[in-house]
């Protein structure tokens, strides 16, 4: 009898702690209208809406980005496709738009909370990426280093 009561109380607890429609990802049923109108899945959530990217690599930015990677990123991300703590970086610039990447690294918490692609990465990695407090220049340099890692010349 005590076991049944315990199970019943746990079921009630789990149901009562469920999420509301306001917690759903933007663009899904029940999402608040503000998120739907401002959300773009290609750019994510943040201040970057259009990043001009040259077909050729900017070596100075890539070198600066490699330094930032060494200090803030390398402990969790490999340059291969292999997952360490976070996902490997190989091919990341072909999977995500530059705006999405730069918004993710500068607006990490909001992206993880609201962006479906960021939430999918969290489900795979099981660890929230900490906000690294990157400047806009650091974010752009990191992106250029990612391009270099992906073979852009």
Q: How many CB atoms lie under 10 A from the CB of residue 141?
A: 23
Rounded CA-CA distance 88/108 in Å is 17
Say which residues have a Cβ less than 8 Å from residue 50's Cβ, sequence separation at least 6: 99
Domains of the chain: 58-153 (1.10.760.10)
39 pLDDT band, cuts 50/70/90, is confident
List pLDDT tens digits, range 110-142. Answer: 999 999 999 999 999 999 999 999 999 999 999
Say which residues have a Cβ less than 8 Å from residue 58's Cβ, sequence separation at least 6: 144
Task: Give 6: exposed, middle or buried? Use CB within 10 Å, 0-12, 13-18, 19+.
Answer: exposed
List pLDDT tens digits, range 1-14. Answer: 554 444 444 444 44
Rounded CA-CA distance 138/151 in Å is 20
Determine the pLDDT at residue 152: 97
Enter the tokens of residue 33: 């209208």
What pTM did the predictor assign? Answer: 0.75
**In this predicted structure, which of 6-15, 26-35, 55-64, 82-91 has the lowest mean pLDDT?**
26-35
Rounded CA-CA distance 129/108 in Å is 7
Rounded CA-CA distance 111/6 in Å is 37
């Amino acid at each position: 009898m005590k076991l049944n009561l315990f199970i019943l109380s746990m079921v009630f607890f789990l149901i009562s702690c469920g999420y509301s429609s306001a917690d759903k990802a933007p663009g899904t049923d029940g999402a608040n209208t503000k998120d739907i109108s401002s959300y773009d899945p290609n750019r994510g959530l943040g201040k970057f809406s259009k990043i001009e990217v040259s077909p050729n690599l900017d070596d100075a930015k890539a070198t600066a980005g490699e330094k930032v990677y060494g200090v803030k990123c390398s402990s969790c991300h490999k340059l291969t496709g292999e997952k360490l703590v976070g996902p490997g970086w190989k091919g990341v610039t072909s999977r995500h738009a530059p705006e999405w990447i730069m918004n993710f690294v500068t607006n990490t918490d909001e992206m993880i909370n609201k962006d479906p692609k960021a939430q999918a990465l969290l489900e795979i990695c099981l660890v929230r990426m900490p906000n690294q407090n990157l400047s806009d220049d650091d974010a752009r340099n990191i992106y250029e280093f990612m391009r270099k890692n992906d073979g852009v010349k």
